[in-house]
Amino acid sequence: MPLSGGAPGTIVTPITESMLGVTEMRKVVDASVPMPLHGHARPEQVAPLPAWLTSQEYTHVTGQVVFIDGGTDAALRGDGAW
């Protein structure tokens, strides 16, 4: 069974927390990975999708990239993508 990819935005982990805790670094992260819908994600917000993609219920979706990015892709593409 081929697995689909995921495209997460910024996930708050111990590594990213240290960057997000510094104002200047947070500005850099926010500028490069804008997440306008609810901000940076926590692992428990992202985990349900890969759990489903690897479950027995996952039978017909193949070769897809699923964005779990809080709007990053849409924000970076802009209105021209639509």
Instruction: Going residue by residue through the chain, which has 82 residues, state the pLDDT in tens, using 9 for 90 and above.
Output: 344 445 778 999 999 999 999 999 999 999 988 888 988 999 999 899 888 888 888 888 777 888 889 988 888 888 876 6
**Threshold 0.75, pTM exceeds:** no
- Which pLDDT does position 62 carry in this prediction? 78
User: How many domains in the chain?
Assistant: 1
Distance separating alpha carbons of residues 1 and 61, to the nearest angstrom: 10
Domain carrying residue 54: 5-81
Cβ contacts of 68 within 8 Å, gap of 6 or more: 6, 7, 8, 9, 41, 45, 46, 49
- Which pLDDT does position 73 carry in this prediction? 87
Distance separating alpha carbons of residues 6 and 26, to the nearest angstrom: 23
